[in-house]
Structure 1
Amino acid sequence: MASSVGVDDYALTRVPRSARYSWWSVAVQRFGQVSALSQFLLGATVGFGMSFWPAFLAFTLGSVILELITILVGVMGMREGLSTSLIARWTGFGRGGAALIGLAIGISLIGWFGIQSGVSAQGLTSLIGVLPDWAWALVFGLVVTAIVMRGFHSMAWTAYLMVPAFLILVGWSIISELTKHDVGALVSSAPPGPEMTLLQGTTLVAGGFIVGAVITPDMARFNRSGGDVVKQTLVGITLGEYVIGMAGVLLAHAVKTSEITTIVTSSVGWVGILVIVAGTIKINDWNLYSSGLGVVNFVGTLTGRRLNRAVVTGVLGVVGSVLAAAGILSAFTEFLTVLGVAFPPIAGIMVAEYFVVKRWRPELDAARASGTLPETAPVWVPATIVVWVAAALIGKFVEWGLPSINSLVVAFVLYVVAGKLGLVRGVGVSRTADAEPAHAV
């Protein structure tokens, strides 16, 4: 389905097999997400508060969490061909709970969109000037919005151009700065800023991409096999976390700041600004894309109206650009910490339902065979909401262990227990308006 303003991209239907892409096309976009500027910024944030080897351990623990979540929910998305907020209707949340997830994803990713646009705006002001930061934030945000409105195909071509450009430029930036220093001394040096604990560092690493992990079905629904999901996850997350993240750690030690703009411009000047712009475009298009899918599902559930994804994307892009102009970047670290405990329970519940409890799995299996959606979905699943809130609170307030792992594992265990006790029951029945075969865009 196309419109004069963009592509709907199967926002409320299954992605048919004929519209799937090769694993490489999806993997480039996954790598673009994890190896983009946000990872550089995360590495600098962690490195500012941790020495090299503790930071390495934090990235290792965070990566294991992210890879496990990403592969499991990605396989779900690939099998069903459904977006995160849509498949949630039959993986424990019901129509109402799925709408809440869509709203949460929409708000969170608009926040990310604002953070990334704000970083690029700072760089463009340094490189070109002419306009103030807030104006460049608006310009940059609107350019990315135009790309996303054209859908997955347009974003794939953006990845083919921007990911290699970013890696070449960031490689130049890293080598140029580190050749001025004794790398051995940087590895053994104390952190330049206030000390951060291993728990805090790991939470930041997991929180830095936890929303990206939870919304993996938005991307994996275009995959052709479970093996493709595993390959793109291992390549994208492992290389992105270690190569870009640990480079950010070393550069934070070298330049003694967590300000990413200062780091890259101090080493290669105006080329550093190109690093910022190239790195931001590729992560920001997916922030906006998944935000649009989440909001389309939320509004469709609330009002019964089927909104065009491209139109919603345009509106959200403007909102995100305004947030960037308003300076949302200042809330970066706190924002990541909150995401680190609020979103893992979503994945824990969905995985528990789909692979263990299977209360609604038969409906999904039957509908998938005919390329449709299940004809009905529960309106609410009260046990799920209780589990979600309880797991998030445990992740937030229990000091033992790692918050992201705590909230994920608690959600998984509580949901499985509730399922075995027969407490996972839907309240109300909602007919699925879009239970017709998917058709090509």
Structure 2
Amino acid sequence: MPKNESVTEATDDFSLSRVPDKARTPMWKVLMVQIGGFVCLSQFMLGAALGYGMSFRNAVLSTVLGSVILQFIAFGLGLAGQREGLPTSLLSKWSGFGTLGSAIVGATFGISLIGWFGIQNSAFAQGIITLLGGHLNFGLVATITGLLVTFAVLFGFKGLSWTTNISVPAFLIVIAIATYNMLKGHTLTALITMAAPGTGMTLSAAITMVTGNFIVGAIIMPDITRFTKHPWDVFWVSVIGTLVGELGVNVLGILMSHAVGSSAIMPIIYKLTGGFGILLVVFSSVKINDLNLYSASLDFVNFFKQVFHVNFKRSTVTIVAGCLGTFLSVIGVIDHFSGFLTVLGVVFPPVASIMFVNYWILKRHRKVLDASRAEGKLPEKAETFPIVTIVTWVIGALVGEFVTWGIQSINVLIVSAVVYWVGMKLFDNSDEKERTATMITAASQEPDAMSKKEQN
């Protein structure tokens, strides 16, 4: 392979094509990236919030229920990504959304992920300033941290592996120190049996928090599982990642919240580990931010391809997206972006349901995907933006916004799945079109067959 082609693959990361077999990686590398997405400050914050408002039993129960529900979706989409070798935004093109729909999905996710990149970068920079005495300029520090993360993401999945191999051990060191100090002052039995130290939280609200925290991660699962070699790899990445990451970190966050009597994560970490722990946690936030930027770059590459028919390199899009997220964090506009991100959060669950039902239950495009996969290519044609998908997406978003009974995120997933399945059963004529095309092709071949028979 020529040197320039190798460099292009390293930075473009097959953003507009299938991941070939030669580029697939061992399961443990993908697993480390997945664990890195869970073993982070935001996951620890979720555990502390649950522990502050619930008993240990109910907090763990809500974590398990929320995790099982979303892991079912995450595994299904992740397995589709492994099977097809495609990232989420491109997979959605043949999983219910069509050309224009997949572009909108990509843009929606890309915008939200750049927003989260800016938020995480602001926290990263502020943490460094605090540790160094508060005398540094925020804009300068935020610019440096944002550009450093952007540089790491330029190397695609390999860049994620590098930062994960550094940040995950650092975070685990903090957790180990905090756990040791926590158990020095409290017995495990006392922490498990004690009442919630804060205002009570219902099981429904807690499950909604758990599912809301991971819904984006579940949908973008194909972004990393497309690099796995075998379907079983996806299973282990999903199961082990959840047990070690989500469940493990949540349980520790719950216990520490009980021990300290607070839901504010930084005071908890400082009380149990001191300034050293704060330092490691701050630097471990780099890992979740490179995941944000990596998936955002894949989403925007697909958007420009589908809408403007322009093949931007993923590395170029990464630089622009990273600079934009960095700029927003520097000027403080990102502080007002959280409300918009909350609104975007309403529209994500229907995407998961539509893709899952389309790919695994209705299997509307599996024939063309199977045929093109055998050749290592993408299907030549796709729908534009099916009306059933549009209606389902809108109804699901409205349910998430206005229906407050039960578990909101689960309501959206179930309603979206049912509406999409029923809508496609009633109004989808793709099978009829395929049969018609087959009949026309066969009819056009009959005269030739007859003439050959006459000649014989």
Provide TM-score, normalisation by structure 2.
0.87
Gaps of 5+ in 2: 432-456
Q: CA deviation at 1:286?
A: 0.9
Larger Rg: 2
Give the distance between the partners of 2:367 and 2:199, measured in 1 at CA: 52
Q: CA deviation at 1:164?
A: 2.1
Going from structure 1 to structure 2, the CA distance change for 1:243 and 1:14 (only over 3 Å counts) comes to same
Tell me the secondary structure at the aligned position of residue 384 of structure 2. strand
Question: Is 1:128 matched with 2:136?
Answer: no
Question: Is 1:227 matched with 2:232?
Answer: yes
> In the TM superposition, what are the counterparts of 1:39-438 in structure 2 within 5 Å?
39-129=43-133, 130-325=135-330, 326=332, 328=334, 341-423=346-428
Q: Please, which of 22, 27, 34 is the counterpart of residue 26 of structure 2?
A: 22
Going from structure 1 to structure 2, the CA distance change for 1:80 and 1:5 (only over 3 Å counts) comes to closer
Give the distance between the partners of 1:112 and 1:179, measured in 2 at CA: 36
Tell me the secondary structure at the aligned position of residue 383 of structure 2. strand
Going from structure 1 to structure 2, the CA distance change for 1:47 and 1:134 (only over 3 Å counts) comes to farther
Tell me which residue corresponds to 1:437. Answer: none
Deviates more, 1:363-372 or 1:316-325: 316-325
Deviates more, 1:207-216 or 1:122-131: 122-131
Provide TM-score, normalisation by structure 1.
0.89
Tell me which residue corresponds to 1:431. Answer: none
Going from structure 1 to structure 2, the CA distance change for 1:182 and 1:327 (only over 3 Å counts) comes to farther
Tell me which residue corresponds to 2:440. Answer: none
Q: CA deviation at 1:395?
A: 2.9
Tell me which residue corresponds to 2:38. Answer: 34
Tell me which residue corresponds to 2:443. Answer: none
Gaps of 5+ in 1: 427-441
Tell me which residue corresponds to 2:13. Answer: 9
Going from structure 1 to structure 2, the CA distance change for 1:337 and 1:242 (only over 3 Å counts) comes to farther
Deviates more, 1:49-58 or 1:236-245: 49-58
Q: CA deviation at 1:6?
A: 7.2
The answer on whether the counterparts of 1:211 and 1:339 sit within 8 Å (CA) in structure 2 is no
Give the distance between the partners of 1:338 and 1:191, measured in 2 at CA: 30
Tell me the secondary structure at the aligned position of residue 159 of structure 2. helix
Going from structure 1 to structure 2, the CA distance change for 1:298 and 1:206 (only over 3 Å counts) comes to same
**Which structure has more helix as a fraction of its residues?**
2
Q: Which amino acid aligns with 1:106?
A: G
Tell me which residue corresponds to 2:441. Answer: none
Give the distance between the partners of 2:96 and 2:384, measured in 1 at CA: 11
Percent of pairs identical after alignment?
45
Give the distance between the partners of 2:209 and 2:342, measured in 1 at CA: 6
Two-structure CA RMSD over aligned residues (Å): 2.4
Tell me the secondary structure at the aligned position of residue 315 of structure 2. helix
Give the distance between the partners of 1:18 and 1:340, measured in 2 at CA: 36
Q: CA deviation at 1:113?
A: 1.7
Superposed CA offset, 1:281-322 (max 9, x none): 221111110011111111222211111111111111122223
Give the number of equivalent residue pairs: 425
Tell me which residue corresponds to 1:430. Answer: none
